[in-house]
Amino acid sequence: MFCRQMQAPKLGTLGWARSPTGRLSKRVSVPVQEQGKNKEALDKKVELVGLIQQIGALMVSRQWLLATAESCTGGGIAQAVTNVAGSSQWFDCGFVTYSNAAKQGMLGVSAQTLAEQGAVSEATVIAMALGALHKSQAHVAVAVSGIAGPGGGTPAKPVGTVWFAWAVKDAAVDSGQQRFQGNRLAVREQAVGHALQGILAHLEQAAN
């Protein structure tokens, strides 16, 4: 009988360090590549928090409320917003409408729109954004529907295709499509960031 020895991946080097008081403690040295990834993730998080704080300042100054209507991001926009302290002053609610039935029942998207245009379409996200405004106390709404992957893509709508809509009460609805690269997590994260950037842009435009 033969046994093959498996070598564990090198995640870091475990050692010991002595504190100024002479006490020994464990120390793990993280590879430079991992340090770079950690720093990049931290920078993105700091950037996202700063973006949300800008949105919050503008929303509070107008005494406005925000609602989100999400499909492929699964509540990621609402989570990002409510992770930031003070968001209770300007965040009203979030609708996670993953299925077509939920889009119809919670946001009033018509069966005809879904049948003719599909869940990932301009018409659907516009209806989602308007439905979020109608079903909430919000003055601003963002809607997102897309294909995060790894399956579900088509030649016309490949994986990474995401539609967005931004609606401000008593104003025209704006919409747009993006095609993001990367795995499922990367697509969802990019969609959250783009949705928030769009909210900020519309708030700044409303101020002018």
CATH code: domain of residue 48: 3.90.950.20
Residue-wise pLDDT for 181-191, tens only, equals 999 999 999 99
- Tell me the percentage of the chain whose pLDDT exceeds 70: 82
Tell me what the pLDDT averaged over the chain comes to: 89
Count of structural domains within the chain: 1
The torsion angles phi and psi of 53, rounded to 5 degrees, stand at -65, -40
- Cβ neighbours of 159 (radius 10 Å): 20
Q: Residue 139 has what pLDDT?
A: 98
How do residues 115-151 score in pLDDT, each as one tens digit?
999 999 999 999 999 999 999 999 999 999 999 999 9
Domain presence at residue 6: no
Residue 55 within a domain: yes
- Report if residue 28 sits inside a domain: no
Helices (H), the chain: 32-62, 76-82, 100-107, 111-117, 122-134, 184-207
Domain containing 57 equals: 44-207
In a domain, 37, yes or no: no
- pLDDT band of 4, cuts 50, 70, 90: low
- Inside any domain, residue 29: no
Q: Is residue 142 part of a domain?
A: yes
pLDDT(3) > 70: no
- What pLDDT, on the 0 to 100 scale, is given for residue 9? 45
The verdict on residue 11 lying in a domain is no
> Residue 40: what pLDDT?
72
| 202 pLDDT tier (thresholds 50, 70, 90) | very high
Q: What is the pLDDT of residue 24?
A: 60
Q: Which of 166, 167, 149 is nearest to 158 (CA)?
A: 149
Report the range of poorest mean pLDDT among 43-47, 70-74, 91-95, 155-159: 43-47
Q: What confidence tier does 13 reach under pLDDT thresholds 50, 70, 90?
A: low
Instruction: With respect to residue 21, please indicate whether it lies within any of the assigned structural domains.
Output: no
pLDDT at 105: 98
Inter-residue contact 30 to 36 (CB < 8 Å): no
